[in-house]
Chains A and B, each alone.
Chain A
Amino acid sequence: MNSTNKNQLACGRKEDLVTYLYGEATAAERVSFERHLNECDDCGAELNAFGSVRDDLSTWQVGFAPRTEFVPPKTRLDVVRELIGMFPVWARGLAMTGVAAAVVLMALSGFGTRPGISNSAGLSEQQVQEIVSKAVADERAKIQQQYQAELASFKTQLVAEHQAQLQLVTAEHQAKLETVKAGLRAEIKKANQQNGSLRSFFAIEDDRSYPWGDSR
Chain B
Amino acid sequence: MEISDDQIIERTLAGETDAFSLLVRRWERPIYGLSLRMLGRDEDARDVCQETFLAAFRNLRKFRGDAKFSSWLYRIALNACHSRMRKRGSVVEQSIDLEDDDGRKFELADSDAELMPERMQRDQLAVQVRKALHALPPEMRQVIVMKEYEELTFAEIAEILAIPVSTVKSRLYTGLQQMRVRLEKLRTAL
Interface residues of chain A, those whose CB is within 8 Å of chain B, are 4-5, 7, 14-15, 17-19, 22, 24, 49-50, 53-54, 56-70, 72-73, 78, 163-164, 167
Contact = CB atoms under 8 A, between A and B. Distances in A.
Contact of A60 (B15, B32, B126): B126
B173 A65 contact: no
Contact of A24 (B18, B153, B174): B153
Interface residues of B, number: 48
A15 B17 contact: no
A71 to B, nearest CB: 9
Interface of B: 15, 17-18, 20-21, 24, 28-29, 32-33, 36-37, 42, 46, 49-50, 53-54, 57-58, 101-102, 122, 125-126, 128-130, 133, 144, 147-149, 153-154, 166, 169-170, 172-174, 176-177, 179-181, 183-184
A168 to B, nearest CB: 11
B166 A57 contact: no
B36 to A, nearest CB: 6
Nearest to A162: B17
By DSSP majority rule, is chain B's interface helix, strand, loop, or mixed? Answer: helix
B32 A68 contact: yes
A60 B37 contact: yes
21 contacts: A7-B177, A14-B173, A18-B176, A50-B176, A54-B176, A56-B128, A56-B129, A57-B133, A57-B144, A57-B148, A62-B36, A62-B37, A64-B101, A65-B32, A65-B33, A66-B42, A68-B32, A68-B46, A70-B50, A73-B57, A163-B15
